[in-house]
């Protein structure tokens, strides 16, 4: 399923984290629209398999590079007119295992890529996250909400990395006139997620397909607002193509309890698996739903892919890519 957009205003883009879940979809969409793409990834949590189908296509180049390394800007020799910074461990399983690398991606990596964008006069877009709102006390979450984040909790390496990155981008806009924006992503799901990255949808789908219990954290009444990856990519590129320097929420508005996600996965897979309740992680947000009024007003963006269609596509992906017994 591929959404269509008008011809983009860019000729060459750098997509960091391009071998990751959302990054690989961005690389593909940009290539399909005629943009040359440097896919930049250190493969810490990304996979070459996600972009293997793009190898050999005109305009595509894979660059193995750590955005936090001192020589990264020299490696990315451009010139670019778009820099999309998606390099960061995004799943709890990854950022808990690689805390320092996660902090580096948001700090040193963001600074380096802002320098690349400034060098080339490129539009810069930071992939931030709903995690900047922490366990929110305001619902739904608007972009002007400052959040409720534990700065020293186990999730803080991801939350604070993104909050610092947002501050760094904003400082470059104010102090140096950078053409830079911020997109805050909420609970994206779809093909190319990793089976065991700790997030609800791939975990439940893989457990259901394997006939294993679906492990729901806590009582499962905590909510998430899911957005299919095609809709997320539409929103990201819309923000990139705008002149907005303000953070913009991109996410689904269908707020669902985690236990209901598990139940719907069971229905759609036809699995006989049962639901098993397990311990809930520290600082796990209780409610999560974006206010997307700014995205609608500024960009005319809203999610289009219904839950059932998106989850069917996701189930089909995991079913087709299950390891052989």
Q: How many CB atoms lie within 10 A of CB 259?
A: 19
Confidence check: pLDDT of 284 > 90: no
Whole-number average pLDDT of the chain? 94
Could you tell me what percent of the chain has a pLDDT over 90? 86
Band of pLDDT at residue 176, cut at 50, 70 and 90: very high
Check: CB of residue 196 under 8 Å from CB of residue 215: no
Confidence check: pLDDT of 280 > 50: yes
Is 158 catalytic? The answer is yes
What are the pLDDT digits (tens) for 77-88? 999 999 999 999
User: What mean pLDDT do residues 105-115 have?
Assistant: 97
> Rounded to 5 degrees, what are φ and ψ at 60?
-100, 135
Task: Tell me what pLDDT residue 217 has.
Answer: 94
Cα distance between residue 217 and residue 232, in whole Å: 25
Q: Identify the residue with better confidence: 116 or 197.
A: 116
Check: CB of residue 61 under 8 Å from CB of residue 39: yes
Q: What is the DSSP letter of 256?
A: E
Band of pLDDT at residue 132, cut at 50, 70 and 90: very high
Helix (H) or strand (E) holding 266: helix 258-269
Q: How many CB atoms lie within 10 A of CB 309?
A: 12
Confidence check: pLDDT of 112 > 50: yes
Task: Tell me what pLDDT residue 233 has.
Answer: 98
Q: Which residues contact 301 (CB under 8 A, 6 or more apart)?
A: 234, 235, 238, 250, 292, 295
Task: Tell me what pLDDT residue 124 has.
Answer: 98
Q: Where are the domains of the chain?
A: 12-189+226-252+288-304
Q: What is the DSSP letter of 49?
A: G
Confidence check: pLDDT of 215 > 70: yes
What are the pLDDT digits (tens) for 90-103? 888 899 999 999 99
Q: What is the CATH topology of the domain spanning 12-189+226-252+288-304?
A: Rossmann fold (3.40.50)
Confidence check: pLDDT of 4 > 80: no
Q: What is the DSSP letter of 67?
A: T
Task: Tell me what pLDDT residue 7 has.
Answer: 66
Confidence check: pLDDT of 1 > 60: no
Tokens at residue 287, please?
């409610």
User: What mean pLDDT do residues 290-307 have?
Assistant: 96
Q: Which residue in the list 80, 95, 133, 158 is annotated as catalytic?
A: 158
Task: Tell me what pLDDT residue 322 has.
Answer: 78
Task: Tell me what pLDDT residue 71 has.
Answer: 87
Confidence check: pLDDT of 136 > 70: yes
Confidence check: pLDDT of 6 > 80: no
Confidence check: pLDDT of 239 > 80: yes
What are the pLDDT digits (tens) for 12-66? 999 999 999 999 999 999 999 999 999 999 999 999 999 999 999 999 999 999 9
Band of pLDDT at residue 3, cut at 50, 70 and 90: very low
């Amino acid at each position: 399923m591929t959404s269509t957009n008008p011809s983009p205003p860019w000729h060459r883009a750098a997509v960091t984290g391009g071998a990751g879940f959302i990054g690989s979809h961005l690389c593909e969409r940009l290539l399909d629209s005629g943009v040359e793409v440097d896919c930049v990834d250190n493969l810490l949590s990304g996979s070459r398999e996600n972009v293997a189908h793009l190898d050999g296509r005109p305009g595509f180049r894979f660059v193995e590079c750590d955005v936090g390394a001192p020589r990264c800007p020299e490696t990315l020799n451009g010139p670019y007119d778009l820099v999309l910074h998606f390099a960061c461990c995004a799943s709890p399983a990854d950022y808990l295992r690689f805390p320092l690398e996660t902090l580096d991606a948001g700090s040193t990596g963001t600074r380096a890529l802002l320098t690349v964008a400034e060098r080339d006069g490129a539009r810069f877009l930071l992939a931030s996250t709903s995690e900047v709102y922490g366990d929110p006390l305001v619902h739904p979450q608007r972009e002007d909400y400052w959040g409720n984040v534990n700065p020293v909790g186990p999730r803080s390496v991801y939350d604070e990395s993104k909050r610092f990155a947002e501050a760094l981008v904003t400082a470059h806009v104010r102090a140096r006139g950078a053409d830079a924006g911020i997109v805050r992503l909420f609970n994206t799901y779809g093909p190319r997620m990793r089976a065991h990255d700790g997030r609800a949808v791939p975990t439940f789908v893989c457990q259901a397909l394997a006939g294993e219990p679906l492990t729901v954290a806590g009582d499962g009444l905590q909510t998430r607002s899911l957005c299919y990856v095609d809709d997320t990519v539409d929103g990201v590129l819309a923000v990139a193509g705008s002149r907005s320097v303000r953070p913009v929420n991109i996410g689904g508005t269908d707020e669902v309890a985690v236990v209901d996600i598990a139940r719907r996965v069971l229905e759609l897979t036809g699995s006989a698996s049962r639901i098993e309740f397990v311990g809930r992680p520290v600082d796990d947000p209780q409610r999560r739903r974006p206010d997307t009024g700014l995205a609608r007003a500024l960009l005319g963006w809203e999610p289009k892919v219904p839950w059932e269609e998106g989850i069917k596509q996701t189930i089909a992906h995991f079913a087709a890519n299950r390891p052989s017994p």
